[in-house]
Every structure is written in structure tokens, then in C-alpha cells.
Chain A
Amino acid sequence: MAHLLTPGPAALARHLIGMRLALMRNSLRGDNASNLYTGVSLGLILALGTIAVAVLWPAQLPLALAAWLSGWIFGPLLVGGSEALRPEYFAMLPAPPGRIAAGLLAGAFAGPVPAVNLVALLSLPVYGWRFGPAGVLIGLVAAVTTLITLVMISRVIVALVGLFVRSRATAVAVGVLTGTAIALCSNGWAPAVALGVSDPAAWSQRLLRALPSGWGVAAVEAPWPLGLAILAAGVGVIALLLAAWARLLSRRVVSAARGGVPSRRGTPRPFPVTSGARVAAAKELRAWWRDLVRIQLLAVAFSFAVVTPLLLGTIGVWAVVPFTGLIAIVMAAASSANLYGADGTALWLTLMTPGAERADVRGRQLAWLLVVGPAATVLSLGGTLVSGQSWAWPWVLGLLPALLGGGAGLIVLLAVTSLVPGTDPHKRGGNPLSTGADETAETSLAWLVLLAVPATALPAAGAILLHPWAGVATGVLTGALCAWGFGAIAYRRLERHGIDLLSLMKHGPPPETGKPAVADLPVRHRIGVTICYSLAWLPLFPQGLVPMVMKILGISDPVWFLALHLPPIWQWPTIIFMIATGLLMYGYAILIPIRLGSSSPAPTDSRGPG
């Protein structure tokens, strides 16, 4: 009676592609659709940029392709790697794991990201044009094999994380790797300068070709028999990755998802007998210690903060070392900005307990300070002592309390004003590092914190410029004010609008919001706003405010600051121009959505309960 025939590989792949496309069609409503269009437009700009690199600066092509590889590797680690087709859906399908893995792989290609990446990889045949028709042919084949390899690597990493990140140690390890990678992406030029990447014969160029992203370049450049051999080896690697992935998947679907809970635990310590904010802080501290997502994000923050100054140390710049702890505070704030979204609908208990809103907000602030504060203070004091940069003392001592207080205030404020809904913790899937929240929204929230927290320290910075030690008093004062004031706004808002936050997490956004959102803008402005948000920091901070501070302090080492490389007469105008550009970009990105958002009709969302 039972139907024993299972679909063949081709049919299975076709069905899974169809299912993936159907899932995408159904999720393309309102904000999701707009975010997708924005993402695809940005991705296409980057892809065309990669082709431009192949035409104009061919020597840098391996580096550009390595950037795409890093996106496939670290994207899923940072934002959770959304798996539209979960292997668990097909666990009961009577087919061998290899066939299901191949089908899932086919499904994984049926999306916008691989398509955009394929456009970027067309840089390979374009580059091959320099080597004649054979180069173009090899480049075309290499584009396809490289795309498959990149997608496979990403899938294997998601599978590995899902299976093996089950303890604090592994979560910290993944966090440290990610933090180091971000540091390398933003300041990797420093050791590269120290090692001499600009010399094409240097080993770093060979290293870039040895990465999976560089095999295509190597194959195009090699004589054609060797090129074909490289392509064949690439196909072999794909087969190996597919086999490994199939085994990981079959292990994953039979191992219970644990929702990111560390594995080994003793009997928990008794709950402290206290009340109000302190009992909420005790709850929150347990969450920090028992949630692998939070542990991993903290590891990212602190490893980025520690690695960045060391990278700059390779070119002899030690001036950043005293600020290690301050960088850690800002990064840790950025990764804690969605506190209520990450806890999901557990908010109902706070709302149903009379007067608990204030205790919960204050408790979360207290817990965050206890988690981040001591380590950041030790790093700040230790970094300043060890580096011997005694000029930095007033800066470190003034900015430390300002940033700690600013961070503690802003994270709760943003958590209640800009909540990004995710999946409730007990309903999350196989990836323990994913919260199921919309990645674009979560990333922009993190960017907002990266800007806003340093802004709270501006009064302290100004006071330090006036008198070194006036800054310390100002820092303590503004820090306390920010933590107290923003916290007070946050709990008042939670008291009045907590129900709306709960509805947002349970039922999605209400249909008639007048809320300005990037997603509601016309495409032209949406792309502009996204670009401004992502790039405005560059002129404002590293090219504007930092050289300004260096010039005021009389540090003459120009490093990579454009203004300091110019003749003295142009230095101040350049600095002011950079700061103005950065502020204008932020102004545009913040004001345009507010102006246009109020008049545009918001998309409707009709998700209701059963």
C-alpha cells in the first residue's frame, strides 16, 4: 500500500527549488520585500564593482574575491545564516542523506544572494579575456565552480556551528574568530602594509590565490593544462564538501536542538533574596551566562577591541592601545541593543507583574554594566599602563565612565524604541547562534548604537580638550545622567507601550503605522540612505574627528589619514570637509526617512493568530 518510490535526484532538486522560491514569494511582503530590493541593489553595486576591479585593477581581483568569501564565511556567524529550507523538514523523507543534501544545495541556489555573487564572479571570465579565448572559457567554468564552492563552505559552516556550538568554550571560540575577522577586515591593511602586499611576488598574493575564492584566478592565469587541473581539483573539493555536509546534516536532524544552551551545568546557585531592580539584574546575569548567543556576541566585541590595536601595532602605532576597553564598550553595546527582541514574548510576564517595568529596565542596565564594566575598565587601565602612552590618561579616565553610562542608557532605550522582532527562544531552529530576527534591521540597529554611544561621550571629549581633568568629572556626570535619564525614558515607554511591543513580537507590525522606516522609501532614497548609513562613519570618524584630535594633540604621524598627508594649509579645511561630509550623510540618512516616511502608506501585514 505504501508508496515506496522516492523522487530521483533531479526531481527532488526541482521540488526543493520550487519550495524555496515559494517560501521567498510568501515572505516578500512589506518590509521584507523592500529590504530584499535594497540588499539586492547594494549587492549588485558591489558585484559590478568586482567586475570593474577585474578590468581596471586586475592585480587586486583575488583580494576582492576574498572579500566575497569572507562574507559567505562570517555572514552566517554574525547574523545567524537564515536557512529557508531547514533539513529538519525533510528528516522523514525516505531518501539517502546525500540525495537530500544535493537537493537542499540546489534549493540554496534558488535565491538572490547566489545570483548576485554569480554576477560578481563574472569578473573571472572578464579577467580571463587578458589570456585569450581559453582564459574566458576557463574563467566561465571557474565562476560556476567557485560559486558552488562558496555556497558549500557557507552551508558546512552553518552545519558545524549547529552541531558543535553547544558549550561556552565553542561559542567564545566562534566569537573570537568572528571578532578577529572583523578587525582584519577593517584594519587588516596595517599588517598588510607591514608585510608588503603591494609586491605581487609576495607570499600574500599567493595566499589569496590559495583561498577557495582565488582558485579561479589561479586557473585563468595558469597554462591551460594546469588550469584544467585546478578546475578539476575544485570539482573534487565540491564533492568532498557535499559529502561532509550530507553527513553533518544527517547528524543534525537526529540531535535535539537545544536552543543555544551551554551543555554542562551543576546545580544552579540559589537565587539572591532581594527585590526590584536587583532581582531583575540577577535574572539577567543568569541569561548572560546561559545564552550562547550573548556569550558569542560578547566574545566578538572584546576580541575585536583587543585585536584592532594589535594590528595597528604592526606598523608601530600604539596610540590606540589605551582605548581597547572603550572600543569594547561600544562594540558590546552594539551587540546588546535588541535585549527585548532577543527575549521574545517573555515580555508578557513583565507587563503582567504590577510595577515590574521599571525593575526590569534598571535590572538590565545593572546587569550589562556588571558584565561589560569590569573587563572594559581592566582593559582601559591595563592598556594605558602597558603601552606607556601617558598622554592618554585623561582621555581614558574621562571617556570610560561617559561611554559606560551612555551604553547602559542607550541599549535599554533602543531596546524599547527600535525593537527588532525575532523568533521566541524556545522555537528557534538548529542554529544556536541565530535569534531569527531580521538581519538587515538588526544590523542597522547595531550601526545606530555604534554612532549613538560615542556621541554620548562628546561632552566629556570637549571638556578634556579644555582641561585634561575637567573631562573626568564631565565623563562621570554625563555617564550617570545618560544611564539614569535614558533608563527612565525607557521604562516609562515600556509602561505605556509595552503591549504594543508584545503585539509586534507576536503578530508582526500593525497595519497603520506612521513610523518612518527605511523600507517605505522610494528605491532611489532607500539605496542612498543605506549607503550613507554604511559609509558615513568613514569621513566622520577615522578621516575627520581622529585626525582632528591628532592635530590638536600634535601627533604628526599621518598613518592613513588623508588630511595629515596634505600640505599644512590644506589640513584643517580637509578635516572640516570630512566631518561635514560625514554629518551631512548621517543627516540625510536620518532625516529623509522621517520626512518621506510620514506621507507614504505603510505596507499591510495580515499575520494573525489562530
Chain B
Amino acid sequence: MPTALRAIGLRKAFGDHLAADDIHLTVPAGSFYGLVGPNGAGKTTTLAMAVGLLRPDAGRAEIFGVDVWRDTVRAKALIGVLPDGNALPERLTGREVLTYLGLLRGLEPDVVAERTDELLRVLELHTAERTLVIEYSTGMRKKIGLAVALLHAPRLLVLDEPFEAVDPVSAATIRTILRRFADGGGSVIISSHVMALVEQLCDHVGVISDGRVVAAGPLAEVRGTGSLEDAFVGLVGARTTGTEGLAWLTS
């Protein structure tokens, strides 16, 4: 089976903190891949290195066989990315952001206009025509980021926490869009810490903890007989707390 994305020994340290330690991941083409892990496990760092937004200390990444760090331009043409927490062209409206990026990518003007219109309408951003991106709410920022990732019809979508802070109705819309994209032969990678969502959407999962991949493969294999949540808690070695202490809260 061809691979959409392959990470080989990715490593990144910030000072003394090893954010990613020898990460190996294989995302089959046409799969809907969920990357899960506790807060601070290294999901964002891994994805940023895999798409070429963060230079790894060691290791490499390939997108459809194209080396991200050697053949950067060709790799970039194949993917759509939604990073977590990055700025956008803040002084443009949503429509202007999509128009600008479409024209910058060299798409035909009428194609840009048509896609911009559809994306804004489907993601329900068309009512905020006069609002600059800097004034958007967190959920609206996620949606315009997703529109940016979709605009040039990439073959692989890499989305960091696409459902965070998005309202339930919009989340349902985004799920439908991503399912349709995957069913049409596209590949999707999302990171999340909402296990139910990953279980519902993804056919493959990778579990990252403390900068290492502790489990990866088809969903059924990773979760075994129980739920993904139970498998996750078992894998990352965490013990749920909250029953001890805090006596003053109920006195």
C-alpha cells in the first residue's frame, strides 16, 4: 500500500526538553489517521516537523515519497496544513485571506472566487464579511484555517486539533467534509485528545506519549477489545486522579 506520510526517526529538543524522541509513523494513503496523546506529548511538534514547518534535529519525513526537507516545493504542493495557534494574515477578512492565498498559489481567478465562496458558505463564515481575521473567535479561526488548508484541493490534509473550540454544529460540518474528502481518495491526519471523536472518525491511530510513539496501526488493533479511551489510559501509563485531596471544596 502506498504511504501518504512517513516519518523516520524525527527528533526535536527545546533546550533540555526532548519534545520528540525518535518518532516513526507511517500513514497509509487513503487513510483517516488520528494522532492522540496527552497534553504536551509532542503531537504538535511531530506534525510541524512532518510537514516542513519545524526543522528536526534528526530524522526525515516523506509525503507521497517526496522528501519534505530535500524537495520542499514539490512536497508543499501536495499538502494542506492547519497548524495549531499560528497567526494568519490578520488584517484581511476571511474572503480576502482565501482570495489572496489562492491567487498567490497561481490558481485561476474564477476558480479562486468559486472555491472561496463555497468554503465560506459551507463553513458559515460568509456572515462575517467585514470582520478581519484578528477579530475572529477561536472557533472561527479554526474554520478559516481549515478553509486555507482545503483551498488548493491537496492530496493530504494535516490538521492539528481541528475540532478544538469549534461549536457542535460546525464540528459536524467539518466531520462531514473530512469524511467526504477521505472517501474521495484523500488522506487525512488529525491530532486530538478527544478519544470518542477519533474512534468515530479514524481508521488508523497513533498514540504518542512523552515524545515517543507507544502504539500505532489500524484502530481495531490499537484499541483491542475495550474502548480507545481505556487502551489510551493503559498505554500512556496514567492513573486517573481526582478522588483524593480537595476536601475543602465540599466541606
Which residues of A are interface residues toward B (Cβ below 8 A)?
1, 258-259, 261, 265-268, 271, 273-276, 279-280, 282-283, 286-287, 290-291, 343-346, 348-349, 351-356, 359, 424-426, 499-500, 502-503, 506-507, 511, 604-610
Query: Can you give 19 contacting A-B residue pairs, CB < 8 Å?
Result: A261-B135, A265-B130, A268-B130, A271-B103, A273-B103, A275-B103, A286-B92, A287-B91, A287-B92, A345-B85, A346-B86, A349-B89, A351-B52, A352-B51, A353-B76, A356-B105, A426-B87, A499-B55, A609-B44
> Please, which residues of chain A bring their CB within 8 A of the CB of B19?
608-609
Are B15 and A353 touching (Cβ within 8 A)?
no
Docked-complex contact A606 and B15, CB < 8 angstroms:
yes
User: Given A286-B92, A500-B55, A609-B45 in contact, is the A353-B87 Cβ separation under 8 Å?
Assistant: no
In the complex, B53 has a CB within 8 A of chain A: yes
* Nearest-CB residue, chain B, relative to A499: B55
Among A265, A346, A500, A511, residue most surrounded by chain B Cβ atoms (within 10 Å): A346
Q: How far does the alpha carbon of A605 sit from the alpha carbon of B132 in the complex, in Å? A: 34
Q: How many residues of B contact A (CB 8 A)?
A: 49
Taking A343-B89, A346-B86, A354-B74 as known contacts, 5 extra A-B pairs with beta carbons closer than 8 A to each other, sorted by chain A number, are A261-B135, A282-B100, A345-B85, A604-B15, A610-B39
B134 CB contacts on chain A under 8 angstroms: 259, 261, 425-426
Q: What 9 A-B pairs are tightest by C-beta distance, nearest first? A: A606-B15, A608-B14, A346-B87, A290-B91, A345-B86, A344-B87, A271-B99, A287-B91, A424-B87
- Which of A266, A286, A346, A608 is B17 in contact with, Cβ under 8 Å? A608
Tell me which residues across on chain A come within 8 A of B172, comparing CB atoms. Answer: none
> What B residues does A344 contact at CB under 8 A?
87
Which chain B residues border A503 with CB–CB below 8 Å?
54-55
Cβ of B101 within 8 Å of any chain A Cβ, yes or no, is: yes
Q: Which residues in A have their C-beta under 8 angstroms from that of B79?
A: 352
Does A502 contact B53, Cβ atoms closer than 8 Å? yes
* Across-interface contacts of A355 in B (CB, < 8 A): 73
Report yes or no: A352 in contact with B53, Cβ–Cβ below 8 A. Answer: yes
* Chain B residues whose C-beta falls within 8 Å of the C-beta of A610 in the assembled complex: 39-40, 44
Does any Cβ of A come within 8 Å of B16's Cβ?
A: yes
Contact A359 B54 (CB under 8 A): no
> A277: nearest residue on chain B (CB-CB)?
B104
Report how far A344 CA is from B89 CA in the complex, Å: 9
Nearest Cβ on chain B to A349's Cβ, whole angstroms: 7
Cβ contacts under 8 Å, A282 to chain B = 100
Q: Which of A291, A345, A604, A608 contacts B91 (CB 8 A)?
A: A291
* B31 contacts the other chain (CB 8 A): no
Contact B109 A606 (CB under 8 A): no
Asked if B40 and A346 make an inter-chain contact with CB atoms under 8 angstroms apart, the answer reads no
Residues of A with C-beta under 8 A to B39: 610
**Beta-carbon contacts under 8 Å, B95-130 to A:** 95-96, 99-101, 103-106, 109, 129-130
B93 within 8 A of A: yes
B88 at the interface (CB under 8 A from A): yes
Could you say which residues of chain A place their CB within 8 Å of the CB of B35? none
A28 to B13, CA, bound (A): 22
Contact B14 A283 (CB under 8 A): no
Give the docked Cα–Cα distance between A507 and B74 (Å): 27
Nearest Cβ distance between residue A500 and chain B, in whole angstroms?
Answer: 7
Q: Which residue of B lies closest to A271 (CB)?
A: B99
Complex-state Cα separation, A275 to B76, whole angstroms: 19
Knowing A259-B134, A259-B135 touch, does A287 contact B53 (C-beta < 8 A)?
Answer: no
- Provide the bound-state CA to CA distance between A353 and B73, in Å: 8
A267 to B54: give the CA distance in the assembly, Å. Answer: 37
B112 to chain A, nearest CB (A): 8
**1/0 per position for B60-99, CB-CB distance to A under 8 A?**
0000000000000110110101010111111111011001
B157 beta carbon closer than 8 Å to chain A:
no
Would you give the 0/1 interface string for B124-166, flagging 1 where the beta carbon is closer than 8 Å to chain A? 0000011011110000010000001000000000000000000
Chain A residue nearest to B81 in the complex (CB): A352
For B40, the chain A residues whose CB sits under 8 A away are 610
Contact: B52 with A499, CB < 8 Å? Answer: yes
B13-32 near A? 1/0 per residue, CB < 8 Å: 01111010000000000000
Least Cβ–Cβ distance between B14 and chain A, in angstroms = 3
* Residues in B whose Cβ lies below 8 Å from that of A425: 87, 90, 134
Q: In the bound complex, how far is the Cα of B53 from the Cα of A569, in angstroms?
A: 64
Interface centre among A348, A355, A500, A604 (most CB of B within 10 A): A348
Q: Name the A residues within 8 Å of B86 (CB-CB).
A: 345-346, 348, 424, 506
Asked if residues B15 and A271 are in contact (CB atoms below 8 Å), the reply is no
Q: In the complex, what's the smallest C-beta–C-beta distance from B193 to chain A, in angstroms?
A: 11
Q: How far is it, in angstroms, between the C-alpha of A276 and the C-alpha of B104 when the chains are bound?
A: 6
